[in-house]
Amino acid sequence: MADTIFTVRSVTKAFGGLTALKAVTLEVGREEIFAVIGPNGAGKTTLFNVISGVYRPDEGEIYLAGRPLHGLTTHRIARLGVARTFQITRLFKQLTVLDNVVLGFGRGDIDPRGLVGGARRPAEVERAKELLAAVGLKDSAGLTAGTLAYGDQRRLELARAMAMDPTLLLLDEPCAGLTHHEALELAALIRRLKDSGVTVVLVEHNMYVAMGVADRVAVLDHGEKIAEGSPEAIQRDPVVIEAYLGRGEAGEDRA
């Protein structure tokens, strides 16, 4: 991992008296799949909200390809190539599946030509349909996004994030609510994304999925990074076993 593309350095975020993130540092290599795992309330989603600018870090720095992200607004961070999905899906529910994807193109640029022309250029419709096919929603383009089944809503979020042609893709519990089979399909899709040049950071409560797909894993507990390494090393790490597996959660997740 000589070629670091994404750095989180000593990031701290507190809400009142609760410190959700304590001096968290991560270094993610180019085209790596990096998983952040931890029990509920460990600060995983807070980490994503800080990276994507939904929250501002109290302390610390975040860099993507050498450019600082900390202190920027959410839409500026997105324009620099950071795409994300959400733990609880956030789709444009009354818009069509196709339009949800189309909105990802151009990273929000208000093109003056877009003021009068149609909302979607033919090339964009083609590309959106390719992305929908890639996530298995080929036949749903014309449906209203809010009518999709939960698993399909997750796939659509992924297609929408891919439409941004991101450098860094943040996936917040991508497998939550999916069946085992669907989770395996998603893992295969994430690997294909990596092969196409995207760096992926995913947050996962489900250790089985995280271990299966990730190149490296970091473990958060109570806002602190307690371990980092290969999935195999993490699974054997006594600190992790005590903090995470020791609570009987792994048994549930593997079931």
Give the interface with another protein as residue ranges (CB under 8 A): 52-54, 73-75, 78-79, 83-84, 86, 90-96, 98-99, 102-104, 106-111, 114-120, 122, 125-126, 129, 138-139, 141-142, 160, 164
* 115 versus 255: smaller Cβ distance to another protein: 115
Task: In angstroms, give the least distance from the CB of 65 to another protein.
Answer: 17
* 6 versus 244: smaller Cβ distance to another protein: 6
Q: Which amino acid type is present at position 233?
A: A
67-68 and 59-64 beta bridge pairing: antiparallel
Task: In angstroms, give the least distance from the CB of 199 to another protein.
Answer: 17
Task: In angstroms, give the least distance from the CB of 92 to another protein.
Answer: 4
Task: In angstroms, give the least distance from the CB of 157 to another protein.
Answer: 8
* 83 versus 243: smaller Cβ distance to another protein: 83
CA count, 13 A, side-chain hemisphere, 218: 20
Q: In what order do the strands lie in the sheet with 168-172?
A: 82-84, 168-172, 199-204, 33-37, 216-221, 224-229
Q: Which helix (H) or strand (E) holds 188?
A: helix 180-195
Token output for 222: 């109570």
| Rounded-to-integer distance, Cα 107 and Cα 91, Å | 16
* 121 versus 222: smaller Cβ distance to another protein: 121
